Amino acid sequence: MGDMFRSEKMALVQLYVQPEAAYASIAELGEMGCVQFRDLNDQVNAFQRRYVSEVRRCDEMERRVRYIEGQLRKDDIKMPHLSAEQEPAAPNPREIIDLEAQLEKTENELHEMSSNSASLNANFRHMQELKSVLENTEGFFSSQEIMNLDSNRPMESDDPAALQSAAQRGQLSFVAGVIKLERFFSFERMLWRISRGNIFLRRNDISGLCEDDEAGHPVLKTVFVAFFQGEQLKQRIKKVCVGYHAEVYPCPSSAAERADMIKDVNMRIEDLKMVINQSADHRNRVLSTAAKHLARWTIMVKKMKAIYHTLNYFNPDVTGKCLIGEGWVPVRDLPTVQQALARGAKISESSIPAFMNVISTNEQPPTFTRTNKFTSGFQNLIDSYGMASYREVNPALYTCITFPFLFAVMFGDMGHALVLIAFAAFLIIKERQLASIKEEIFTIFFGGRYIILLMGLFSLYTGLIYNDVFSKSINIFGSGWQNQYNTSTVIDHSTPYLTMRPKISNFKTYPVGVDPIWQLADNKIIFLNTFKMKLSIIFGVFHMIFGVCMSVVNFIHYKKYASIILEFVPQVLFLLLLFGYMVFMMFFKWATYNDNSTDQSLSPGCAPSILILFINMMLFGHQEPLDGCKEYMFEGQDMIQTVFVIVAVICIPWMLLGKPLYIKATRPKQLPAPNHAAAPSGGHGHGHGDNEPMSEVYIQQAIHTIEYVLSTISHTASYLRLWALSLAHAQLSEVLWNMVFSNGFGFSDYTGCIAVFIVFGAWSVLTVGILVLIEGLSAFLHTLRLHWVEFMSKFYEGAGYAFAPFSFKQVLEDGGEN
Amino acid sequence: MGAAVLPILFFTSLWAAVGIGGSIITPHGPQRQLIQCILMLTAGCCWLFWLCCYMAQMNPLIGPRLSRRAIQIIADSWNMPIKEG
């Protein structure tokens, strides 16, 4: 059967590869992406596997790649983005060695450059601080008295008298340095305390922020000079300086020496600047070269790691000469796998080619449905509810149309549909460019672009039928109602409203959709309500019958033919005889009762309420008809209804007991020891193991029966949400027009022009925001619920698991998300 | 007023052409069954939707209740002149 009808047939294969060819073969299979490998070594610890050293190598390379990437990001260098065609293949062993060497070299270079630049920068900072100390202490030493007190002045002679007198005078020493401004004040206090006030501290702030120091960001610093007397104090002061992280610089007191030193420092600063610039250039060059290759390296390392992880799943065989692996492959892809293995063997020039062996198994294979970009959106919707069991009928095929259609029944408005179509068309036409945006909410809308397009197209059609364009109707074919009143009646003020009688006013049926006159009518909602409610029930019943019929397909495929008679027939009879009959009554009432008929019992006054008829049918009740009317719509309805109800009631014990009795009759006499054969394919509902006790079977079936019977009623009523949402949508649209847009028409001439322009802005924002976005999301959600619960509960098992093939595309995508 | 033959015939044949005819003429290819399913479902749903709307109006049980203003407006723009008298 076709692609989407049910999931694909899967085969369990064993692969025999030579160890030399293993790497290349797995690389080829990874490119193809059609095998899901099974872990044959899952009891083995990760550290004891065969290829653990290779995985470690890969980890080391990955770490290096990450480090280089970090350095690139720090320097704001962009990496070129690789398109799908430019992606490199997994590296072969020769390339691996080259790659490792390159990565190591680049990483070491970067490390070296970082440490060099750190020390260069520290040096540079010191030079600058020294320079500022020398410049800022000009003021301190220029005053004469300080010069006299200066103890650092070189002694002129060894004149003992001079020495003595100098000692008697008390030699003032000083300490010059740089400290952070915020610390200066407590520094000053500390010095004051330890020197007991015998210290003279001058400071001069450095203008502008200084270079980053240990804090990492620029800070305010200040130059200080502390004058004091005595050697002990000097030691204490030096200790305090160390404690406050103040840098002490040797500063000569004489002006000449200072000038020399300044010149010297300036020269060294220039030299350092040149060296720093050159090393920055060098670093830039290294990083740019690395940036060109980094994208390819990342991909190659990721692919390598994935291959070795997969190789770890393989088992060496008894002889040790080849590796055995197991995996699931879709049957259609078996030739592809063969070719990939052949290519792998050729690349690695192995003498013995790898081969593949299909083995049969009782295990449930994974579920895989091949989808294209159109159907993948719908398949995702279904898979979100539950992955289909293996080879179960796939509801996504029908969801392609029923989902947008039921959405459209709730959303029917041509104007809003055009907005949806425009949005979806934009997303589809610009598919390629938009595919690379990774922002989450956008990807959700982008992934559903075909769904949105179909929803818009169907909404256009239902909008045409509901005759609703932004709450206005279009009159294409001419209304079928004509005015029956004459001028005097119309002008008469005492009757604000005039009702048209169908017999007189209605001369034709509007061919496509709702007659445009209803938009102007005061009792529009009464008419639309009856129409939309009946419409919802009709579609609901058909949708549910379709769902029940799907279960037959499942029964036939799983060869449970007895279930067709024991489960399907009573279910569909119950649904058809009760709710199908109600749908028939709706069509019958539409066709027979009209205002033109001569028979009084067929006039509108006598038209019975279908709901009342249905309730009386179920309860075998009767209702007194009005004068001239009949209770029933046609001859023999009484009899038919009784028969239907009785047969439907018989269906209930049929559903309840049929299957358990059948299982009891066909189950062979059980031996006491239960066999632990793997449960046959089939989920909780339909596949009971042979070991289940009969009480379980009865209870299960009772639950199913009660669930089904109640669900026929509740789900049928649930479809009335189609009516409810469509009513809400139409009313909201009308409110927006009447309360927002109409205000713009109250003005005339140029003011009117501007008023309409502004009001249109408000109206369109509200329309798109409330009616398209919010109502759209709401209708989407309700349609999804209708499909998941009302439709799929009739036949869907959903007990499968997804097929997750080993594919490089998936590996790279997952890596890109992290 | 009752069912008129022309619209019913037209729309039934239209959706039959889309659903059945379209399915027959879809070109052979990997997606043939998908396209056939889509066409048939579309035709079925759309035809049923149109039919419900048509049948709901062909024998109306109530008529529209218009304000006098509305009657005067449609007399003008829809060419439905009010009778003299």
The amino acid present at A269, given as its one-letter code, is I
Mean pLDDT of A728-737: 95
Buried b (16+ CB within 10 A) or exposed e, A486-499: eeebbeeeeeeebb
Surface-to-core class of residue B62, CB atoms within 10 Å of its CB (0-12 exposed, 13-18 middle, 19+ buried):
middle
Q: Do the strands A247-249 and A172-180 form a parallel or antiparallel pair, or are they unpaired? A: antiparallel
| Residues A11-53 pLDDT 10s | 999 998 888 888 888 899 999 999 999 988 888 887 888 888 8
**A538 φ, ψ to 5°?**
-60, -50
The string over A40-52, giving b where at least 16 C-beta atoms fall within 10 Å of a residue's C-beta and e elsewhere, is: beeeeeeeebbbe
Nearest of A804, A17, A1, A10 to residue A333 by alpha carbon: A10
Contacts of B72 in chain A (CB under 8 A): 490
Q: Which residues of A touch B54 (CB under 8 A)?
A: 509, 511
Across the interface, do B42 and A401 touch by the CB < 8 Å criterion? Answer: yes
Q: Is it the case that residue A165 has pLDDT exceeding 60?
A: no
pLDDT of residue A410 exceeding 70, the answer is yes
For residue A325, list its beta bridge partners. Answer: A15
- Alpha-carbon torsion A79, A84, A87, A90, what sign? positive
Contact by Cβ (8 Å): A404, A421: no
Per DSSP, what are the bridge partners of residue A94? Answer: none
Residue A38, both tokens: 């099974």
Closest CA–CA distance from residue B13 to any residue of chain A (Å): 14
How many angstroms away from the CA of B64 is the closest CA of chain A?
5
**A180-189, A562-571, A677-686, A745-754: the lowest-pLDDT one:** A677-686
> Residue B77 and residue A197: Cα distance in Å, rounded?
105
Top-confidence residue, A330 or A504: A330
How far apart, in whole angstroms, are the C-alpha atoms of residue A455 and residue A359?
Answer: 45
Count of Cβ atoms closer than 10 Å to residue A177 Cβ: 23
With respect to residue B61, please indicate whether it lies within any of the assigned structural domains. yes
Convert the pLDDT of each residue in B7-43 to its tens digit.
999 999 999 999 999 999 999 988 899 999 999 999 9
Contacts of A601 in chain B (CB under 8 A): none
pLDDT band at A686 (very low <50, low <70, confident <90, very high): very low
Pick the closest to residue A241 from A275, A292, A286, A191 (CA basis).
A191
CB contact under 8 A, B34 and A4: yes
With beta carbons under 8 A apart, name residues in chain B contacting A375.
34
Longest alpha-carbon distance in chain A? 150
In the DSSP assignment, the letter for residue A619 is: H
**B51, B62, B80, B84: best to mutate for the A interface, most A CBs within 10 A:** B62
Per-residue pLDDT, A436: 81
Residue A195's pLDDT band (cuts 50, 70, 90): confident
**Mean per-residue pLDDT of chain A:** 86
Are the Cβ atoms of A501 and B49 closer than 8 angstroms?
Answer: no
Does A405 sit within 8 Å of B45, measured CB to CB?
yes
Dihedral sign, Cα of residue A145, residue A146, residue A151, residue A154: negative
Contact check, Cβ <8 Å, B84/A486: yes
Question: Three-class SS string for A434-466?
Answer: HCCCCCHHHHHHHHCHHHHHHHHHHHHHHHHHH
pLDDT at A333 > cutoff 80: yes
Which tokens hold the place of A683? Answer: 């989920």
| Residue A240 reports pLDDT greater than 80 | yes
Distance CA A24, CA A323 (A): 13
Among the partner residues A401, A511, A522, nearest to B65 by beta-carbon distance: A522
Q: What is the pLDDT of residues B49-71, one digit of tens each?
A: 999 999 999 999 999 999 988 88
**Model pLDDT for residues A290-328, shown as the tens digit of each residue:** 888 888 888 889 899 999 989 888 888 778 788 889 999
Question: Residue A684 burial by CB count (10 A; 0-12/13-18/19+): exposed, middle or buried?
Answer: exposed
Our CA-based measurement puts residue B25 at a distance from the nearest CA of chain A, in whole angstroms, of: 17
B29: closest CA of chain A, how far (Å): 11
Secondary structure (DSSP) of A8-47: PPEEEEEEEE-HHHHHHHHHHHHHHT--EEE-TTTTS-GG
Residue A126 dihedral angles phi and psi, to the nearest 5°: -55, -45
* Chain A closest-CA separation from residue B4 CA (Å): 7
Q: Which residue of B has its CA nearest to A460?
A: B46
Q: Which residues of B touch A501 (CB under 8 A)?
A: 63
B39 domain-assigned: yes
Range of the domain at B21: 5-77
Residues 6+ apart with CB under 8 A from B69: none
pLDDT tens per residue across span A767-777: 999 999 999 99
pLDDT score recorded for residue A376: 92
The per-residue DSSP string of A684-750 comes to TTT---TT--HHHHHHHHHHHHHHHHHHHHHHHHHTTHHHHHHHHHHHHHHHHHHHTGGGGGGS-HH
Rounded distance between C-alpha atoms, residue A798 and residue A399, angstroms: 16
Give the burial class of A231: count Cβ atoms within 10 A of its Cβ; 0-12 exposed, 13-18 middle, 19 or more buried: exposed
Confidence (pTM): 0.84
- Calculate the alpha carbon distances from A564 to A367, A553, A560, A667, A793 in Å: 24, 9, 7, 18, 17
Question: pLDDT confidence of A161, banded at 50, 70, 90?
Answer: low
Residue B16 lies in a domain: yes
Confidence of residue A456 (pLDDT cuts 50, 70, 90): very high
Residue range A188-215: mean pLDDT, rounded: 79
Is there a contact between A511 and B52 if contact means CB atoms under 8 Å apart?
no
Cα separation of A10 and A243, whole Å? 75
Q: If you count DSSP H runs as helices and E runs as strands, how many of each does chain A have, helices first?
A: 29, 10
A429 confidence band (pLDDT: 50, 70, 90): very high
Q: CB–CB of B58 and A509 under 8 A?
A: yes
pLDDT at A1 over 50: no
CB atoms within 10 A of CB A599: 11
All residues of chain A having their beta carbon less than 8 Å from the beta carbon of residue B11 are: 511-512
* Angstrom distances, CA of residue A1 to CA of A9, A689, A730, B30, B31: 11, 29, 42, 11, 11
Q: Compare all CA atoms of chain B with the CA of A525 and give the residue at the minimum distance.
A: B64
pLDDT, residue A148, reads: 56
Describe the strand order of the beta sheet including A247-249 as a list of residue ranges.
A200-205, A221-229, A172-180, A247-249
For A125-186, the DSSP string reads HHHHHHHHHHHHTHHHHHSHHHHHHBS-SPPS---HHHHHHHHHH--EEEEEEEEEHHHHHH
User: Looking at the predicted structure, is the pLDDT value of residue A524 above 70?
Assistant: yes
> Smallest CA–CA separation between B74 and chain A, in Å?
9
pLDDT at B83: 78
Which tens digits make up the pLDDT trace of A215-230?
667 788 888 888 888 8
Q: Which two tokens stand for residue A405?
A: 């259609």
Q: Which residues sit opposite A358 in a β-bridge?
A: A13
User: In angstroms, how far is the first alpha carbon of chain B from the final one?
Assistant: 26
- If DSSP codes are grouped into helix, strand and coil, which group holds residue A803? coil
Nearest CA in chain B to A494: B68
Between these two residues, A691 and A227, which has the higher pLDDT value?
A227
- Any idea what the Cα angle at residue A358 is, between residues A683 and A352, rounded to 5°? 150
Which residue in chain B is spatially nearest to A402 when comparing CA positions?
A: B41
CA-nearest of A404, A433, A402, A403 to A420 is A404
Instruction: Give the nearest chain A residue to B55 (CA atoms).
Output: A590
Read off the pLDDT of residues A255-265 as tens digits, 9 standing for 90 and up.
788 888 888 99
Q: Which of B2, B6, B62 sits opposite A527 (nearest CB)?
A: B62
C-alpha distance from residue A611 to each of A125, A541, A606, A709 (Å): 91, 15, 15, 19
Judged by CB atoms closer than 8 Å, whether chains meet at B34 and A517 is answered as no
pLDDT at A176: 85
CATH architecture of A116-272: 2-Layer Sandwich (3.30)
pLDDT of residue A257: 83
> Is the Cβ pair A607, B61 closer than 8 Å?
yes
* Cα end-to-end span (Å), chain A: 39
Is B84 a domain residue? no
* Mean pLDDT confidence for A67-86: 80
The tokens describing A75, both together, are 């320097």
Tracing tokens 């999804």 back to the chain, one arrives at A784
What is the CB neighbour count within 10 angstroms for residue A513? 24
Query: Nearest by CB to B64, which of A5, A517, A542?
Result: A517
Tell me what percent of the residues of chain A surpass a pLDDT of 90. 45
A vs B: CB pairs below 8 A: 199
Q: What tokens were used for A208? A: 């502008």
* Chain B residue numbers touching A535 (CB-CB < 8 A): 49, 52-53, 56
CA-nearest residue to B75 within chain A is A483
Q: Where are the domains of chain A?
A: 2-106+282-359, 116-272
List CB contacts (< 8 A) between A528 and chain B: none
Q: Over the range A370-399, which residues count as b (16 or more CB within 10 Å of their CB) and which as e?
A: ebeebbbbbbebbbeeebbbbbbbbbbbbb
Cβ contacts (< 8 Å) between A593 and chain B: which residues? 59, 61
* pLDDT at residue A386 tops 60: yes
pLDDT confidence of residue A611: 92
* Least confident among A390-404, A442-456, A682-696, B58-72: A682-696
Cα–Cα distance for residue pair A512/A507, rounded to 1 Å: 15
Predicted confidence (pLDDT) per residue in A544-601, tens digit: 999 999 999 999 999 989 989 999 999 999 999 999 999 999 999 999 888 888 888 8
pLDDT tens across A714-727, in order? 999 999 999 999 99
Q: Which amino acid is at A268?
A: R
Distance from CA of A553 to the nearest CA of B (A): 16
Residue in chain B closest to A500 (alpha carbons) equals B63
**Distance between CA A21 and CA A349 in Å, rounded?**
8
Measured CA to CA, the distance from residue A197 to residue A228 in angstroms comes to 10
Residue A222 pairs in a beta bridge with A179, A205
Q: Looking at chain B, how many residues does it have? A: 85
User: What span, in angstroms and rounded, lies between the C-alpha atoms of A740 and A470?
Assistant: 12
**pLDDT, position A144:** 45
pLDDT digits (tens, 9 = 90+) for A50-66: 888 888 988 999 999 89
Contacts of A481 in chain B (CB under 8 A): 63-64
- Residue A595, both tokens: 């205002």
pLDDT recorded at residue A223: 84
Is B68 in Cβ contact with A491 (below 8 Å)? yes
Which chain B residues contact residue A539 at CB under 8 A?
48-49
Burial of A287 (0-12, 13-18, 19+ CB in 10 A): buried
Q: Within 10 Å of residue A678's Cβ, how many Cβ atoms?
A: 10
Judge whether B85 lies within some domain: no
B58 falls within a domain: yes
In the predicted model, is pLDDT for residue A680 greater than 50? Answer: no
- A302 min Cα distance to partner chain B (Å): 34
Whole-number CA gyration radius for chain A: 44
Flag if B48 and A483 touch (Cβ within 8 Å): no
B-chain residues near A473 (CB < 8 A):
none
pLDDT band at A678 (very low <50, low <70, confident <90, very high): very low
Contacts of B59 in chain A (CB under 8 A): 502, 590-596
Mean pLDDT throughout A268-281? Answer: 92
Which of B7, B49, B59 shows the shortest C-beta gap to A511? B7
Which of the four pLDDT bands, split at 50, 70 and 90, describes residue A810? Answer: confident
Distance from CA of B80 to the nearest CA of A (A): 6
Report whether pLDDT(A644) > 80: yes
The better pLDDT of the pair A492, A275 is held by A275
ipTM of the modeled complex: 0.96
Nearest to B2 among A372, A510, A594 (CB): A594
Checking if the pLDDT of A335 tops 80, the result is yes
> Which of A86-100, A111-125, A474-488, A540-554 is predicted least confidently?
A86-100
Task: For residue B23, give how far its alpha carbon lies from the nearest alpha carbon of chain A (Å).
Answer: 14
